[in-house]
Structure 1
Amino acid sequence: MSAPSTSSTSAPEQMPPGVMEALLRPSQNRPASRSLASFSDGVTEVVMPESHFLLNKYDLCCPRPECGSLILRTGVAKLIEKPSVQMEPADRTPALLPPMPEPPAVANWWLVTPSPMEFENIGFSKPLSSEPGAAQMKLLVCAECDLGPVGWSEVGGTEFWLACSRVGYRT
């Protein structure tokens, strides 16, 4: 009695109908998020005091209502007030994102350290051109729908900055 022969020319398996469409469709079961502007006391309502730092009290997510992808879990980022950063030309701010104040005006930022592995879901742009001698910057965007920029980082740096006004808060 001989063993059944195995052929390397077997027919490829077919994917059941609708599977690819289901994989490409964004999740519809994500809870809604709120913008920073919707909190009556602003940034003071979205922080929790934790030792010497103010940490994010809520999950941070993509502000696009149709997306809502989780960007960062509760308690991972520190609230920092520091000068604004011009992340795009003033006339090209996406409609879903509020404009950033003109530098050197101060803005509220979520600081994420020490690596991008702290994020649940974030995308990075290619390095942007910069002045000679200045550090190059990458922009942070929603990894699922590419909405952004929601923040920035220096190329090769260990600090990642999310604009408090440009993310959603899942309460």
Structure 2
Amino acid sequence: MSESHPSTSSFEPGQIPPGVMEALLRPSTNRPTSRTLASFPNGVTDVSTPASEHQVNKHDLLCPRPECGSVILLAGVAQLVEKPSVQMEPADRTPALLPPLPEPPAMAAWWRVAPSPMEFENIGFSKPLSSSPGAPQMKLLVCAECDLGPVGWSEVGGTEFWLACSRVGYRATT
């Protein structure tokens, strides 16, 4: 004998209940707030911490767009490396939210993520960029949620991924 339950909803099967779409489209209010590298008095010294033989990121790395704040990488995953800058876009095409990088071969601070892109929480990759003959092809790294970038780069097929320390946000701590 089967029981009959009165319907608790007033919508048909396959129909979206009232208010659900509005709730899904409403911006999240619990986005983490981030700080720029420039807001730390001692720069990379304030955002890195010793681990074994190298320095790692002390804070979660976030998308620097205030309206986004997507977590790109958790604390303690990336190694701090000083290495030559990389030309990721023409100087006159740098997005307003991202600081320009020094012209190569000037040095820059980078977060090195290895050995796989699975180390990231949320990252997007561009199509391979054309390069000069004999040079490795490069992919640009962007926020996977809002596409802001480039925040970093990697070689096609490589096992190292580079985030510019100045182009990511740092989870603000109280």
Matched, 1:122 2:105: no
**Secondary structure, in 3 states, of the residue corresponding to 1:158?**
coil
Structure 1 counterpart of 2:99: 98
TM superposition shift of 1:24: 4.3
Which blocks of at least 5 consecutive residues in structure 2 are unaligned? 1-11
Q: 1:18 to 1:123 in 2, by over 3 A?
A: farther
- 2:55 counterpart letter in structure 1: L
Q: Any residues of structure 2 matched to 1:2-81 within 5 Å, and which?
A: 13-81=14-82
* Alignment correspondent of 2:5: none
Amino acid at match of 2:170: Y
Structure 1 segments, 4+ long, off by >6 Å, are none
Mark the CA change 1:160 to 1:24 in structure 2 (over 3 Å): closer, same or farther: farther
Match of 2:139 in 1: 138
Q: How far off is 1:14 after superposition?
A: 1.4
If the length of structure 2 is used for normalisation, what is the TM-score?
0.89
3-state secondary structure, aligned to 2:35: coil
Q: Which residue does the alignment assign to 2:150?
A: 149
Change (3 A) 1:138 1:39: same
CA offset digits 1:9-61 (Å, max 9, x no partner) = xx861122343343344422112110000000010000110110100000000
- Equivalenced residue count is 162
Partner of 1:5: none
Distance 1:161 1:13, change over 3 A: same
Alignment-mate amino acid for residue 19 of structure 1 = V
- Distance (Å, rounded) in 1 between the aligned partners of 2:39 and 2:29: 22
- Could you list the runs of 5+ residues in structure 1 that have no partner in the other structure? 1-10
Contact 1:26 1:67 in 2 (8 A): no
Between the aligned residues of both structures, percent identity stands at: 81
Asked if the contact 1:82–1:108 (Cα under 8 Å) also holds between the matched residues in 2, the reply is yes
Q: In the TM superposition, what whole-angstrom CA distance separates every residue of 1:50-90 from its partner, at most 9, and x where no partner exists?
A: 11010000000000000000000000000000000000000
The change in CA–CA distance for 1:16 and 1:45 in structure 2 (over 3 A counts) is same
